[in-house]
Chains A and B, each alone.
Chain A
Amino acid sequence: MTDTVERAEQRLEARDIVFEIDATRLLDRVDLDARKGELVGLVGPNGAGKTTLLRAIGGLLKTRDGAVLLDGEEVRQMGTGERAKSIAHVAQLAPLAQGFTALEVVMMGRYPHMGRVQSERAVDREAVRDALEIAGAGDLADRTVDTLSGGERQGVFVARALAQEPRLLLLDEPTSNLDINHQARFFNIVQRLVRDGMTAVAAIHDLSLAARFCDRLVLLNGGVVIAEGTPAEVLTPENIETAFGVRAVVSSDPGSGALSLSVMDPGAPAIGVGAGTRVHVVCGGGTGARLMYRLSEAGFTVTAGPLGNGDTDRAAADSLGVEYVPVQAFGGLDDASHQEHLRLIKECDIAILSDVAFGTGNVRSLEALAEAPRTALATLDPFAGRDFTDGEATRLFERLSPVAAWSELEALVTGLPGVAHGQQENN
């Protein structure tokens, strides 16, 4: 089995799909491929055509042009019964199912495998039980579906899709009703099915989730594919800005390699209230990313202290265009870097200390911080817990005379430009 997965044979080929309602083109020459054993994520803004594309692939739409091939066979040429044995579709909104029990609903997934007047065979009952179990809905079997929560109901309809024993599983926002724990669980299930040889295409609106679980992503916008490839290839700030019209910061977790995305407030003015004011952030290890977004959003000119390669804050700074002092991770701060840091600090109007921890490698940043025209603290947490230098950092910290803590920083970010200058002491 794994051998065939490794050979990665082509399972789904959708070519040149065109779909129109009246004169509006909802899909414009869309291509989508999925190999055996692959989970392909369909991402894009609302109205991009994700649902429409899934319905077109499932043969539920009369497309104007294009072809959908499943293992080389044209889906539209299949009989409806044959298609139902090959492709399962889980819609975004699970039907109420009006009084049917979960077991009865999942049994509907067996209809394509049963004769028209045939009643359930042992093999059908077994498939239904397995499907309920896999979808984590085993204990819901005898509940009527309309008494279930949205998430539970979604599980039941996923189980029904599995009971169809399809080669291709189409999922439309399958986790939109689930909490984060169940979202991860759900995608783990899909990944397992996919490893066993199924192919899945899922429309997912949560980009981080899509990046984390999908083998490949297809980014749709306005019915056109604008990017296709691995999550890292597709989810670039440029692509996200093109598709969603927002500036986003993409960083990859140094531990797991997973991509994470932070989207900036699309309503924030590009040049805002703090224009011209320079704010320096001393941070590291992800403690400053949010601070830097907020400050950039508000229009401040943001700079940052030393950031090692692989640091989440460094990725954030890169994508925000924040000037910082690049250093080797864990390499300590050499004199040249320290001078560079001092220059940035002396140029700024206010320097902010995040709740970064200090060791011997970065303790010189605190030394530099003392040279700032004024300083602020992003957190009021006791400093001692972040000192890994046997008191050296605490001694330097106590020499600082911060003018504001985070609560005031909120005002600083959202308030008038003057706040960052003279009047701060009057607060």
Chain B
Amino acid sequence: MALALVTRLRPPREAALGRRLGAGLIFLTGLLIFVVLVSLSTGPLDIPVSHVIAIIAEPLGVHLADYDRTEELVVEQIRMPRIVVGALVGMALGVAGTTMQALFRNPLADPGTIGVASGGAAAAVIAIATGASLWFFLALPLFALAGAIGTAFLVYAIAIASGRFSVATLILAGVAVSAFMGALISLVIVAVPERDTLRGILFWLAGGLDSRSWDHVWLSGPLILIGGGVIVAFARDLNLLMMGDDDAGSLGVNVRVMRPVLLTAASVITGVAVAVSGMIAFVGLIVPHMLRLVFGPDNRVLVPLSALGGAVFVVLADEIARTVIAPAEIRVGIVTSFIGAPFFLFLLLRHSRRVNSL
């Protein structure tokens, strides 16, 4: 519903860059605050929004209302880290998706295009199957991160091995390596004897934000913010890279430096997101497309807005995942696909010409 609102609220494309960006930032920030507050207040324990706000304000030295200790614990130690991790993951996937679509000049590109997601997943699945994930509580995310970034570099190395870089080679290498990693995951699943381990693997593959702690925030936050910041800073070069290497080169982009930099930044933040949340599908594909329909294709607008849009999308999906069949939960990755796919198709049919053009 909130997303449908986004498409209705359509600042004119002709508006100056700054005004478009400003309007988008204000709208999406407001939406994010709203979704976060609703998320913090809902769950097995109902906490009034006023109490939630008071709990957040209290450490800042502002006393707004009385609340009980349980409410404070639930908000600060259970719901808040989970929501912050969700928002960070959404930011990472939204920005990485926008970046990959621009770098590859391909509307089907998403953060997983060069094998980052499947590489991270394969490493995580192996860690779960071998019990390595139990060494210490961050072992699983660290394995996944190493797998994701390792895979990205492997794919890039394959693509430049011939001495001549081409986007098509990169995508094809990514497809091949992803298929290989997918086979590896299937092999592990088939080979694992214990039901509990298997369940752990499938859980992780569906992507989820349950029991995320502040440690996951500290693990993922800095890298996602730095990587995202790099991409925001070079968003203009991304515009030019969309025009092709020669155009980018003749308009002042050092293609041989900028492409690996942007690819690395996008891969790292995707890897971090996969590491702390598993495979949350579809965010990186549809968030950029949705925002592009409203705000146009300029990456200087699109990159910051897809960070916020991704955050809204994942936090909202997680809220639905937590509440729709409460007290049980669905996996957030399932929710993103369940809402995302039909909504994307709706947009696709409504705006098919404009989506086709990317």
Is B297's CB within 8 Å of the partner chain A?
Answer: yes
Residue of A80, A85, A100 contacting most chain B CB atoms (<10 Å): A80
In the complex, what's the smallest C-beta–C-beta distance from B244 to chain A, in angstroms? 5
Query: Do B250 and A88 have beta carbons less than 8 Å apart?
Result: yes
Residues of A within 8 A of B244 (CB): 91, 95
Is B58's CB within 8 Å of the partner chain A?
Answer: no
Is B48's CB within 8 Å of the partner chain A?
Answer: no
Q: Provided the pairs A96-B357, A111-B236, A111-B240 are in contact, do residues A60 and B298 lie with their beta carbons within 8 angstroms?
A: no
Query: Do B358 and A99 have beta carbons less than 8 Å apart?
Result: yes
Residues of B within 8 A of A142 (CB): 14
Residues of A within 8 A of B253 (CB): 80
Is B199's CB within 8 Å of the partner chain A?
Answer: no
Residues of A within 8 A of B17 (CB): 119-120
Query: Do A98 and B297 have beta carbons less than 8 Å apart?
Result: yes
Is A112's CB within 8 Å of the partner chain B?
Answer: yes
Residues of B within 8 A of A87 (CB): 250
CA distance A179 to B240 in the complex (A): 29
Q: Which residues of A111-159 have CB atoms within 8 Å of chain B's CB atoms? A: 111-112, 116-117, 119-120, 142, 144, 146-147
Query: Do B239 and A59 have beta carbons less than 8 Å apart?
Result: no
Chain A 66-101 interface mask (CB, 8 Å, partner B; 1/0): 000000000000001101110111010001111111
Q: Provided the pairs A80-B254, A108-B240 are in contact, do residues A55 and B13 lie with their beta carbons within 8 angstroms?
A: no
Residues of B within 8 A of A96 (CB): 357
Query: Do B251 and A98 have beta carbons less than 8 Å apart?
Result: no
Is B242's CB within 8 Å of the partner chain A?
Answer: yes
Query: Do A146 and B246 have beta carbons less than 8 Å apart?
Result: no
Query: Do B236 and A146 have beta carbons less than 8 Å apart?
Result: no
Q: Provided the pairs A97-B243, A98-B105 are in contact, do residues A146 and B357 lie with their beta carbons within 8 angstroms?
A: yes
Query: Do B246 and A84 have beta carbons less than 8 Å apart?
Result: no
Is A308's CB within 8 Å of the partner chain B?
Answer: no
Chain A 385-418 interface mask (CB, 8 Å, partner B; 1/0): 0000000000000000000000000000000000
Query: Do B246 and A55 have beta carbons less than 8 Å apart?
Result: yes
Residue B357 contacts which of A59, A85, A99, A117 (CB distance < 8 angstroms)? Answer: A99
Query: Do B357 and A89 have beta carbons less than 8 Å apart?
Result: no
Residues of A within 8 A of B251 (CB): 84, 108-109, 111-112, 164
CA distance A91 to B246 in the complex (A): 8
In the complex, what's the smallest C-beta–C-beta distance from B197 to chain A, in angstroms? 45
Q: Provided the pairs A98-B105, A99-B358 are in contact, do residues A108 and B246 lie with their beta carbons within 8 angstroms?
A: no
CA distance A98 to B358 in the complex (A): 5
Residues of B within 8 A of A119 (CB): 16-18
Q: Which residues of A45-61 have CB atoms within 8 Å of chain B's CB atoms? A: 55, 58-60
Is B10's CB within 8 Å of the partner chain A?
Answer: no
Residues of B within 8 A of A84 (CB): 250-252
CA distance A81 to B18 in the complex (A): 23
CA distance A101 to B357 in the complex (A): 12
Tell me the count of chain B residues lying within 8 A, CB to CB, of chain A.
Answer: 30
Residues of A within 8 A of B254 (CB): 80
CA distance A84 to B297 in the complex (A): 23
Query: Do B292 and A99 have beta carbons less than 8 Å apart?
Result: yes
Chain B 322-351 interface mask (CB, 8 Å, partner A; 1/0): 000000000000000000000000000000
CA distance A37 to B358 in the complex (A): 39
Query: Do A59 and B249 have beta carbons less than 8 Å apart?
Result: yes
Residue of B13, B16, B239, B247 contacting most chain A CB atoms (<10 Å): B247
Residue B298 contacts which of A55, A58, A100 (CB distance < 8 angstroms)? Answer: A100
Residues of A within 8 A of B229 (CB): none
Tell me the count of chain A residues lying within 8 A, CB to CB, of chain B.
Answer: 36
Q: Provided the pairs A98-B242, A99-B297, A116-B233 are in contact, do residues A91 and B358 lie with their beta carbons within 8 angstroms?
A: no
In the complex, what's the smallest C-beta–C-beta distance from B294 to chain A, in angstroms? 12
CA distance A117 to B236 in the complex (A): 8
Residues of B within 8 A of A99 (CB): 292, 296-297, 354, 357-358
In the complex, what's the smallest C-beta–C-beta distance from A81 to chain B, in angstroms? 4
Query: Do B250 and A101 have beta carbons less than 8 Å apart?
Result: no
CA distance A60 to B246 in the complex (A): 6
Residues of A within 8 A of B236 (CB): 111, 116
CA distance A104 to B300 in the complex (A): 12
Query: Do B252 and A111 have beta carbons less than 8 Å apart?
Result: yes
Residues of A within 8 A of B249 (CB): 58-60, 80
Residues of A within 8 A of B243 (CB): 95, 97, 105, 108
CA distance A335 to B48 in the complex (A): 118
CA distance A96 to B251 in the complex (A): 17
Residue of A85, A89, A98, A164 contacting most chain B CB atoms (<10 Å): A98
In the complex, what's the smallest C-beta–C-beta distance from B46 to chain A, in angstroms? 44
Closest to B243 in A: A95
Query: Do B252 and A83 have beta carbons less than 8 Å apart?
Result: yes
Residues of B within 8 A of A80 (CB): 249, 252-254
CA distance A120 to B165 in the complex (A): 33
CA distance A59 to B239 in the complex (A): 20
Q: Which residues of B296-322 have CB atoms within 8 Å of chain A's CB atoms? A: 296-298
Residue B250 contacts which of A21, A60, A147 (CB distance < 8 angstroms)? Answer: A60
In the complex, what's the smallest C-beta–C-beta distance from B98 to chain A, in angstroms? 12
Residues of B within 8 A of A59 (CB): 249-250
Residues of A within 8 A of B13 (CB): 101
Closest to A83 in B: B252
Chain B 89-118 interface mask (CB, 8 Å, partner A; 1/0): 000000000000000010000000000000
CA distance A85 to B354 in the complex (A): 32
Query: Do B297 and A100 have beta carbons less than 8 Å apart?
Result: yes
Residue A144 contacts which of B240, B246, B250, B357 (CB distance < 8 angstroms)? Answer: B357
Residues of B within 8 A of A98 (CB): 105, 242, 297, 357-358
Closest to B164 in A: A21
Chain A 170-188 interface mask (CB, 8 Å, partner B; 1/0): 0000000000000000000
In the complex, what's the smallest C-beta–C-beta distance from A56 to chain B, in angstroms? 12
Chain B 132-156 interface mask (CB, 8 Å, partner A; 1/0): 0000000000000000000000000
Residues of A within 8 A of B239 (CB): 100, 108, 111
CA distance A338 to B73 in the complex (A): 118
Q: Which residues of B112-136 have CB atoms within 8 Å of chain A's CB atoms? A: none
Query: Do A91 and B247 have beta carbons less than 8 Å apart?
Result: yes
In the complex, what's the smallest C-beta–C-beta distance from B346 to chain A, in angstroms? 19
Residues of A within 8 A of B18 (CB): 119
Instruction: Knowing that A91-B247, A109-B251, A116-B236 touch, tell me 19 more A-B residue pairs with CB under 8 angstroms.
Output: A21-B164, A80-B252, A83-B250, A85-B252, A89-B250, A91-B244, A95-B244, A97-B243, A98-B105, A99-B296, A100-B239, A104-B297, A104-B298, A108-B239, A108-B251, A111-B239, A111-B240, A119-B17, A146-B357
Would you list the 7 A-B pairs with minimal beta carbon distance, nearest first?
A: A84-B252, A99-B297, A89-B250, A146-B357, A112-B252, A81-B252, A95-B243
Q: Can you list 11 pairs linking A and B with CB atoms under 8 Å apart?
A: A21-B164, A58-B249, A80-B253, A89-B250, A98-B358, A99-B296, A99-B297, A111-B252, A116-B233, A120-B17, A164-B251
